[in-house]
Chains A and B, each alone.
Chain A
């Protein structure tokens, strides 16, 4: 589903190269964890997948279902089924959350040639998803993410993911800022989305989240490259021994 080939990318503003020859393949149905120390390029990778303009790909390619996405803008990527759950979801004053959800769902439907959702059906879907994530509907009447706690913002991201039903989900440090109860709820929300037709990429620092969302593959990112790949036991190994060993092997 996702094939990243020899990807090189830099920050547009100052030309700093962050991703330096990254290769990664994630198949449909797979849950892949990307781990790595601070500054290894994990969040940058998530932004590049979503199409943020602040980064520029200088070499290599990203194929999604066999097609390069490099020329697609963020909205085109999203409507084709790529979803990024942000590490720091933005607060957008004046945009009501419900209104935003309706616009986003219907824009995606429009791009797929489907009719807009009728209001009762829309409300039902939001309510069902919110109930699963233990979210209060009153929260969704507020402006998007404004005044939400860290945990509420992360839940709101997973809520959007459930409603938009993407094919490739990228979760950037979704576990940060969550207490253990919230973590379990979010993990259940993600697990419910596991499907043979969907790939999930989980970017995380810690093994903690992976106890609840068990990955099929684990990849260690260091200095903009995947330096080691393995199965879930690799995450346990990293938790026990730190990154030093793996990085040492690579260096």
Chain B
């Protein structure tokens, strides 16, 4: 007799597995893609990660995913495209998980619907998980039905940003945004994640930077406090490529934003700047895994967090410097402004260095509002609430101002002001 053990499934796990059975016939993909989907749902059947899985220690997905019921797919949900973060951007909308057949023409840029790439199987290799603990990758691979595949030709210099707009109004959406930036090309991409429903969103972005390509990628996440947002940003940086990734989390009930970056070409340069604005009874996790795999590459990461209410935040930053990656220069900082007694923030920096000639460092601080600064502002007649608001905003605005491009800085500060109006 075989001993057959079935793990005790949580309601969330059961809901996902049942949903897969129901959705399967609707999901696009050739044989190769469907095999990847099968592998992915198997991973979920084996159980969502718990706090015993190291990379999920501060975000027990198996438990937290049950706090809000996993919603059913809602074909009737119909969010409307919204004005872009930066005026004049070319908008590629994904509404309730579905791309648009009609997108703006952009010189030097080829845009395909991801549903087509899934159907012809050409994107199948990109659907692999990056590790056994890649629950977001698995969830997305199992269910992804659409998104965009954007190819920016070699040498193209985009004057205006491209905004990838992923909008939900309830239900489940699973979206993938793939962008290839050719050699020597320059672009700014805004990844907009928002909506107004109690949705479960998984979104995976994949970015490939060719030799000498320069990209500024802004993730602006402003989900409502009813939504679960599970996102992944993966990038490979070729020789001499430069990527500035800016992440702003300003919403969501349960949020995990993973950043998985590899420098694969010498002279590649990665900058991560993040602000987490945390309020209410929410949980937000930013987890970065950065691999310096070749010599002479650089990275800096600065994360600034504002914690109010009963919000909980996490930043895990892991930098792996491979054995041959000599002359790596990596610096990481995580600074938190804790504004309430009930809020909390956990930081876990990890440096794993196998090369012997590198400069790597990290630092973390947790502070309250500086009383001397507060006194100075109040002594000029600024009331306490406004003065506190100015100081909190200043704490995060410093990171935004590093982006230098005036249109982007102004646009992000406007998002910031919006958050303070609602939560200040």
Instruction: Check A92–B391 contact: CB distance below 8 A.
Output: yes
B384, CB-defined interface residue at 8 Å: yes
B390, CB-defined interface residue at 8 Å: yes
Given known A50-B379, A104-B381, A164-B381, contact A94–B397 (CB-CB < 8 A):
yes
Instruction: Check B395–A84 contact: CB distance below 8 A.
Output: no
Interface-facing stretch out of A71-79, A206-214, A221-229: A71-79
| Complex: A33 Cα to B365 Cα, angstroms | 43
Across chains A and B, the number of contacting residue pairs, with CB separation under 8 Å, is 75
* Contact indicator per residue, chain A 107-119, by CB within 8 Å of chain B (1) or not (0): 1100100000000
Residue A94 contacts which of B380, B383, B398 (CB distance < 8 angstroms)?
B398
Instruction: Check B384–A104 contact: CB distance below 8 A.
Output: no
| Complex: A126 Cα to B20 Cα, angstroms | 64
Chain B: minimal CB distance from A74 (Å): 4
A245, CB-defined interface residue at 8 Å: no
Residue B380 contacts which of A52, A73, A143, A160 (CB distance < 8 angstroms)?
A160
A132, CB-defined interface residue at 8 Å: no
| Complex: A90 Cα to B375 Cα, angstroms | 10
| Complex: A90 Cα to B387 Cα, angstroms | 14
* Contact indicator per residue, chain A 15-56, by CB within 8 Å of chain B (1) or not (0): 000000000000000000000000000000000001111000
- Report A54-78 residues with CB < 8 Å from chain B CB: 73-75, 77-78
A95, CB-defined interface residue at 8 Å: yes
A86, CB-defined interface residue at 8 Å: yes
Chain A: minimal CB distance from B152 (Å): 34
Contact partners of B394 in chain A: CB under 8 A: 92-95, 143
Contact partners of A108 in chain B: CB under 8 A: 380-381
A150, CB-defined interface residue at 8 Å: no
A151, CB-defined interface residue at 8 Å: no
| Complex: A108 Cα to B378 Cα, angstroms | 11
Interface of chain B, main secondary structure: helix
Instruction: Check A51–B379 contact: CB distance below 8 A.
Output: yes
* Contact indicator per residue, chain A 85-98, by CB within 8 Å of chain B (1) or not (0): 01001101111000
| Complex: A39 Cα to B406 Cα, angstroms | 48
Chain B: minimal CB distance from A76 (Å): 8
Name B385's closest neighbour in chain A (CB-CB): A75
Instruction: Check B381–A95 contact: CB distance below 8 A.
Output: no
Contact partners of A103 in chain B: CB under 8 A: 382, 386, 390
| Complex: A115 Cα to B178 Cα, angstroms | 51
| Complex: A111 Cα to B382 Cα, angstroms | 10
| Complex: A202 Cα to B401 Cα, angstroms | 39
Residue A90 contacts which of B372, B382, B390, B398 (CB distance < 8 angstroms)?
B372
* Contact indicator per residue, chain B 339-380, by CB within 8 Å of chain A (1) or not (0): 000000000000000000000000000000001110111111
Contact partners of B379 in chain A: CB under 8 A: 50-51, 74-75, 77-78, 83-84, 86
B372, B378, B386, B395 pick with most chain A CB within 10 angstroms: B378
Interface residues on A, range: 20 to 34
B380, B396, B397, B401 pick with most chain A CB within 10 angstroms: B380
| Complex: A135 Cα to B41 Cα, angstroms | 66
Instruction: Check A53–B371 contact: CB distance below 8 A.
Output: yes
Given known A90-B376, A94-B393, contact A75–B398 (CB-CB < 8 A):
no
Contact partners of A94 in chain B: CB under 8 A: 391, 393-398, 401
| Complex: A108 Cα to B379 Cα, angstroms | 11
| Complex: A92 Cα to B377 Cα, angstroms | 9
Chain B: minimal CB distance from A151 (Å): 19
Instruction: Check B376–A78 contact: CB distance below 8 A.
Output: no
Residue A78 contacts which of B372, B378, B401 (CB distance < 8 angstroms)?
B378
Instruction: Check B381–A79 contact: CB distance below 8 A.
Output: yes
Contact partners of A160 in chain B: CB under 8 A: 380
* Contact indicator per residue, chain B 388-424, by CB within 8 Å of chain A (1) or not (0): 0011011111100100000000000000000000000
| Complex: A100 Cα to B393 Cα, angstroms | 12
Name A81's closest neighbour in chain B (CB-CB): B381
Contact partners of B372 in chain A: CB under 8 A: 90
- CB pairs A–B below 8 angstroms (28 shown): A50-B375, A52-B375, A73-B378, A75-B387, A77-B379, A78-B378, A78-B382, A90-B372, A92-B377, A94-B393, A94-B395, A94-B396, A94-B398, A95-B390, A95-B394, A100-B390, A103-B382, A103-B390, A104-B377, A104-B380, A104-B382, A107-B381, A107-B383, A108-B380, A108-B381, A111-B381, A143-B394, A164-B380
Closest 8 CB pairs of A and B: A94-B394, A78-B381, A74-B378, A104-B380, A75-B378, A108-B381, A94-B398, A79-B381
